[in-house]
Amino acid sequence: MRLRHKPWAKDYMQAQEHVFITDPASLKGNWATEFGNDHPLFIEVGSGKGQFILGMAKQHPDVNFIAIELFESVAVSIVQKLVDTPMPNVRVLTVDAKQLVEYFDAGEVDRVYLNFSDPWPKTRHAKRRLTYKTFLATYEAVLPRGGEIHFKTDNRGLFEYSLESMSQYGMYFTDISLDLHVNEPADNVRTEYEERFSAMGQPIYRMEAAFRPKI
């Protein structure tokens, strides 16, 4: 889907300092200070327009959430929603997931969410998939020992690839669903894409995977 350019997005977001973080590197190791508490910190890589992370933040006020969305023209939708309906436990970043270690200290993030990531179906683009081994190493670097990744997609190919990639990396799975909405958990928060694909009758694949503590 082609992104609609919004030239005003950057200036608008930078004016919302209570929501949008313009210099996340300065908060590395100090996110608890930014939120004013020591609650767990969950991040979503590729937050889109924010339906999932805002739903989670509402459902879990005792958890701090950071929406990470590379494209300003998309992330601005999250910021607008937070201006209209303030949520003190949410912040927004427009950074590249490859550089997470520049913004978070070791063990500072308690959980990573990956929802409906770009499948990059061509083999030559495998390194761009958010479950490729280099990305997994990045997540591991900011998560605590035994930290978890929660993953959802409608793309069976990406799901199978991710299971294999995580397994080869040494991760283990605590939950796997091949059709999440058959017995949908009451606390499941749907993303925009999840609602769309489910309405089309496509199964939603989900997993929870954890890194093995290193000895």
What are the residue numbers of the active site? 118
Here the tokens at position 127 are 């390194």
* Chain position carrying tokens 């591991």: 140
Here the tokens at position 112 are 């990573």
Within the chain, how many helices (H) and strands (E) appear? 7, 7
Rg value, the chain, Cα? 17
Phi, psi of 145 (to 5 degrees): -60, 130
Alpha carbons 40 and 32: distance in angstroms, whole number? 9
Q: How many CB atoms lie within 10 A of CB 179?
A: 13
